[in-house]
Every structure is written in C-alpha cells, then in structure tokens.
C-alpha cells in the first residue's frame, strides 16, 4: 500500500495499471499522422544541426473579416489558394532540398492524380539548378514510407502523359525508391535514405 500527500491510498496494482497506461500512451505515438512524423523529424534535424527544413504554410486568401471589438478580428470567409510549389524545402549539406509528401490508402499503387503538374514543373526547375528533389509516399494501410527520387518520379509522370498507366505500382516504388523505417528518433529519417541513394550511385 502506498500513501500520497492527498490522503488517497493506492495499491501496487494501481501503480502497475498507471504504468501500463503510461506505456500505452508512449507507444501510441507510433500512430501519429504522416505529417506529424515529418515535422518531428525536421525538428530533430534542426536541433541536431543536421539540416534546416520546414513545411511551407498553405496560402490562404482572406475575403471577409469582422471586427466585433477594436482589438479582435474574426475571419468570416477565406479560401485556400492553389499552392505553386511543394510541401517542404530547406537546406542540407549546402544544397537546396525540396520535396512533396503524399499519402495513399491504396495497397498496391500510388495514384499520380495526387500530384499536380505545377509541382512536377517546380521540382524539375529545382533539380535543373542542382537542388535535391524527391517524393515521400506513405502507404497508410501498409504503414510503409518510401523515398522516390524525382528523376524516377519524372519517368512515371512522363509515362502517364504519353498515355500509360496513371499510377506507380508499389513494386516499382520498391524497386526505384528506398523504404524509410519508423524509428524513435528521428521518426522518419529520410535524409539517411537520401544518403543511401547517393552512396549507391557512387
């Protein structure tokens, strides 16, 4: 029996139950969203002086604002603008890094309709200037994340525009991409996957 200052009595069984609940909460972090996992990874990179990478804010067009009080404004109407670039960018080892992160519930392929032409054009321009570009694909039902280099993504995009299939098969992504395992810290070490790609090309 354990007594606490508040006068409540707790048995060792109560303490074990609390510890188990705490363990479940910590373990449950594995269920965080794909975007949260990337954000936590980027935070790790920054705090450990590995890279500086941020998610770009979604552009919003505000069209109506009410001022119920002089010191308080309330947005009544706003629209999302069509983003012209990718989700994330920054700098890594002196090079610009730019990538898009997409999620699919499909188990066997990634639909290319999830990517827009302006994003492909943007990555093409960045790659032409020597920047690092790639796509992170999360197969949510498989709990697998792959890094697909832009040079391979562009091949599948061109195949689609020439009348070919409108998706990338999982087998193709496994062949051309790199699996990024979920870890504790960093959560999704996509830069390690990028380094593996560079090493394989040397």
Residue 119 is assigned to a ligand binding site? yes
Please report, for residues 15, 28, 125, 187, the alpha-carbon distance to residue 22 in angstroms, rounded to integers and kept in the order given: 10, 10, 48, 20
CA distance linking residue 104 with residue 154, whole number of Å: 19
DSSP class of 143: T
Residue 198 is assigned to a ligand binding site? no
- List Cβ<8 Å contacts ≥24 apart for 158-167: 160/112, 166/111, 166/112, 166/113, 167/106, 167/109, 167/110, 167/111, 167/112
Residue 98 is assigned to a ligand binding site? no
DSSP-derived secondary structure for 8-74 = -EE-HHHHHHHHHHHHHHHHGGGG--HHHHHHHHHHHHHHTTS-EEEEPPPPEEEEEEEEEETTEEE
Residue 36 is assigned to a ligand binding site? no
Q: Which residues are annotated as a binding site?
A: 85, 87, 100, 119
Which residues define the annotated binding site for Mg(2+)? 85, 87, 100, 119
């Amino acid at each position: 029996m354990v007594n606490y200052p508040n006068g409540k009595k707790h048995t060792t069984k109560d303490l074990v139950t609390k510890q188990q609940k705490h363990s479940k909460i910590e373990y449950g972090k594995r269920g965080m969203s794909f975007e949260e996992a990337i954000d936590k990874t980027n935070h790790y990179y920054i705090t450990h002086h590995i890279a500086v990478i941020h998610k770009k804010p979604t552009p919003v067009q505000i069209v109506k604002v009410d001022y119920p009080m002089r010191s308080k404004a309330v947005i009544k109407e706003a629209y999302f603008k069509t983003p012209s670039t990718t989700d994330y960018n920054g700098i890594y080892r002196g090079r610009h890094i730019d990538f898009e992160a997409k999620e699919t519930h499909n188990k066997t392929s990634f639909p290319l309709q999830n990517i827009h032409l302006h994003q492909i054009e943007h990555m093409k321009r960045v790659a032409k200037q020597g920047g690092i570009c790639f796509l992170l694909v999360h197969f949510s039902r498989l709990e697998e994340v792959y890094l697909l280099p832009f040079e391979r993504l562009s091949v599948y995009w061109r195949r689609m525009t020439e009348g070919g299939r409108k998706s990338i098969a999982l087998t193709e992504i496994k062949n051309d991409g790199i699996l990024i395992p979920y870890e504790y810290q960093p959560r999704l070490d996509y830069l390690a996957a990028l380094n593996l790609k560079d090493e394989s090309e040397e």
